[in-house]
């Protein structure tokens, strides 16, 4: 027995040693596995709990997409709510070069008949289209967006969508449409292809008309399908704009002005109509005009709003202010008679088109006598006319809010020669815009109340500032009525059934060298009805070449047709003078009617 036990002991020891080795290895492996698990768990905790931002960012870059929520540009309408500028829905056709690259390498892009149909729909040659597409898919990383066409109509867009071309997508946008077209082109202006105002009201009120686009953040799967709405930032809607313009009157003014420019073979023409009671601009037109819905081949100079940018010497249209100033300062009385025989000042001869030995104040305006008003001016201090002109707004911008408005040219002199004072009284030595001149006549029509002009609808109307005594203004308005009566220089401006107070004018144009040339500007400014003035109108015809160039023969008939149409359209009751009243104003000394003012 003892021998057997001795033989078994070594075997038992070996078994024990082997079991302890296995146990040690097991513990080592378990420890390593445990440590690995701890490391993995620590890394997971670090990535998922402690510092997950980077991982989340990487994931969002692959799945999150930001979609713009577009906002439509505000509508521009006239005072009655009729649309003058609206945004219509269209689409942009664009290609994804990255998507086309992947498909191209996989052999999935073949320029078959569908591409030919796309080129026909976009009016692009097939070769031009394929060349442009291939140029953007030859190399990886060329971008994810290229335009193929902009402002495509919904009908063509749906046709392209149904072609189901790979890598070709549609994007919603809008296009500006102008219902009145040429009639409001200079006033309303237009936008560029991205909806930014470039000219006119569109540019001047661009911030007001432009909203703020919103954003929609979504999560997409690998197939491009939206699986989650993450966040939404609402868009801020654009503001609509209601103008003081009356579309019907605007169209009337534009049509009559265009006819006159064509008839007189003139370079251009401008007309501005203002509501005297409120200062609102009811119409502002220029000719020639352009079509804002189709700007192809439109020269830039045609886009200029001449009513606010172009300046000219106002000529005889300032003479009513000279008479008002003389009455106010006591230089003359309403029934005064002046010596109007031609005379010399500083070596220059002051004369009228027709010689008159003496004229009353009414006759000075009726005959548009340069001699008469210059004698009044020389009897006053040099500052007198300067102050009156400035009070009525000459030399100052109207602050209408339109980009590009000129403030005119106004002399800033300390010393004036007699000849400068004389010519200043009949409208030479300063320059104004048609808009500034109509503001002067709107102030006259409101009996000396100066109101700011407005291109937007105003309610209630602005009270205004009294800048000249009402009695003198009314007296001069009564005198101005004689201009359109027989014997006056503006008889062709007469409107049957209505009393009007006007002044016509003619000025030579200044040439490139700063000297007067034998080209003319004819204009007529006035108010109606004269008994209770409601509207002020200025008509300017630039460089007529049909043979006649005086304001009384060129612009006065246009004034008559426009103002007559306005009065009838607005249902203004006739206030024609009685024959006995006409005899008080009309002067028949000269049997031949003079219309050369």
List pLDDT tens digits, range 550-561. Answer: 999 999 999 999
Of the candidates 338, 395, 335, 332, the residue with the CA atom closest to the CA atom of residue 370: 338
pLDDT, tens digit, 9 for 90 and up, residues 493-544? 999 999 999 999 998 888 887 788 889 999 999 999 999 999 999 999 999 9
For tokens 């004389």, what's the residue?
A: 422
Beta bridge partners of 456: 243
Whether the Cβ atoms of residue 186 and residue 305 lie closer than 8 Å to each other: yes
Total residue count of the chain as it appears in this document: 597
What average pLDDT does the chain have? 86
pLDDT, tens digit, 9 for 90 and up, residues 258-292? 999 999 999 999 999 999 999 999 999 999 999 99
- Alpha-carbon gap, residue 363 to 588, rounded angstroms: 10
Of the candidates 267, 302, 266, 272, the residue with the CA atom closest to the CA atom of residue 285: 272
Q: What pTM was computed for the model?
A: 0.82
Cα–Cα distances in angstroms (integers) from residue 429 to residues 235, 386, 411, in the given order: 53, 12, 7
Better pLDDT: 217 or 2:
217
Better pLDDT: 309 or 216:
309
- Alpha-carbon gap, residue 269 to 246, rounded angstroms: 20
CA 414 to chain centre: 38
Question: 152 — alpha (psi -120 to 50), left (phi > 0) or beta?
Answer: beta
Return the structure tokens found at 68.
């713009």
Domains along the chain with CATH numbers: 56-82+179-243 (3.90.1310.10), 86-171 (3.90.1310.10), 247-580 (3.40.710.10)
Whether the Cβ atoms of residue 429 and residue 395 lie closer than 8 Å to each other: no
Give the pLDDT of residue 590. Answer: 45
Helices (H) and strands (E) counted in the chain, each on its own, are 21, 19
- Element of type H or E holding 336: none
Of the candidates 341, 267, 262, 276, the residue with the CA atom closest to the CA atom of residue 525: 276
3-state SS of 492-519 is HHCECCECCEEEEEEEEEECCCCCEEEE
**Which residues are tagged catalytic?**
316
3-state SS of 566-594 is HHHHCCCCCCCCCHHHHHHHCCCCCCCCC
Give the pLDDT of residue 587. Answer: 47
DSSP 47: I
């Amino acid at each position: 027995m003892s021998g057997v036990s001795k033989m078994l002991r070594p075997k038992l020891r070996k078994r024990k040693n082997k079991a302890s080795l296995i146990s040690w290895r097991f513990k080592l492996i378990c420890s390593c596995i445990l440590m690995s698990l701890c490391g993995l768990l620590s890394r997971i905790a670090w990535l998922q709990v402690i510092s997950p931002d980077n991982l989340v960012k990487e994931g969002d870059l692959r799945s999150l997409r930001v979609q713009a929520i577009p906002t439509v540009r505000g509508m521009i309408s006239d005072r009655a709510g009729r649309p003058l500028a609206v945004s219509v829905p269209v689409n942009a056709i664009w290609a994804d070069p990255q998507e086309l690259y992947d498909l191209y390498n996989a052999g999935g892009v073949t320029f078959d008949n569908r591409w030919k149909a796309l080129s026909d729909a976009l009016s692009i040659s097939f070769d031009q289209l394929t060349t442009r597409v291939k140029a953007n898919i030859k190399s990886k990383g060329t971008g994810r967006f290229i335009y193929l066409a902009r402002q495509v109509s919904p009908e063509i867009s749906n046709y392209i969508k149904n072609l189901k071309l790979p890598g070709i997508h549609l994007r919603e946008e809008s296009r500006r449409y102008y219902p009145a077209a040429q009639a409001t082109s200079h006033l309303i202006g237009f936008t560029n292809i991205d909806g930014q105002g470039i000219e006119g009201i569109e540019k001047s009120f661009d911030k007001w008309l432009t909203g703020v686009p919103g954003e929609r953040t979504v999560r997409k799967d690998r197939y491009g399908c939206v699986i989650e709405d993450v966040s939404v930032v609402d868009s801020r809607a654009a503001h609509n704009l209601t103008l003081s313009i009356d579309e019907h009157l605007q169209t009337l003014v534009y049509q009559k002005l265009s006819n006159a420019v064509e008839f007189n073979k003139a370079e251009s023409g401008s007309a501005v109509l203002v509501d005297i009671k409120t200062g609102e601009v009811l119409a502002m037109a220029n000719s020639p005009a352009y079509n804002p819905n189709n700007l192809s081949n439109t020269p830039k100079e045609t886009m200029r709003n001449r009513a606010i940018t172009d300046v000219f010497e106002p000529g005889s249209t300032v003479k009513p202010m000279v008479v008002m100033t003389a009455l106010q300062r006591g230089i003359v009385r309403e029934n005064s008679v002046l010596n109007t025989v031609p005379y010399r000042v500083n070596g220059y001869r002051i004369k009228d088109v027709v010689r008159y030995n003496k004229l009353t104040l009414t006759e000075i305006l009726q005959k548009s006598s340069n001699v008469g008003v210059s004698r009044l001016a020389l009897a006053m201090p040099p500052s007198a006319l300067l102050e009156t002109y400035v009070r009525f707004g000459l030399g100052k911008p109207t602050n209408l809010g339109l980009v590009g408005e000129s403030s005119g040219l106004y002399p800033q002199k300390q010393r004036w020669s007699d000849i400068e004072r004389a010519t200043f009284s009949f409208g030479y030595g300063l320059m104004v815009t048609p808009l500034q001149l109509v503001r002067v006549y709107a102030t006259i029509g409101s009996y000396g109340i100066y109101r700011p002009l407005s291109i937007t609808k105003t309610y209630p109307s602005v009270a205004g500032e009294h800048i000249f005594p009402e009695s003198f203004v009314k007296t001069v308005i009564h005198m101005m009525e004689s201009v359109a009566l027989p014997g006056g220089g503006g008889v062709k401006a007469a409107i049957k059934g209505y009393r009007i107070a006007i002044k016509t004018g003619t000025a030579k144009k200044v040439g490139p060298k700063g000297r007067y040339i034998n080209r003319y500007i004819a204009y007529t400014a006035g108010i109606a009805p004269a008994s209770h003035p409601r509207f002020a109108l200025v008509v300017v015809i630039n460089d007529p070449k049909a043979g006649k160039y005086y304001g009384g023969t060129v612009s006065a008939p246009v004034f008559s047709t426009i103002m007559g149409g306005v009065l009838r359209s607005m249902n203004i009751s006739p206030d024609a003078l009685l024959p006995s009243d006409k005899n008080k104003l009309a002067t028949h000394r000269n049997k031949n009617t003079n219309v050369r003012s």
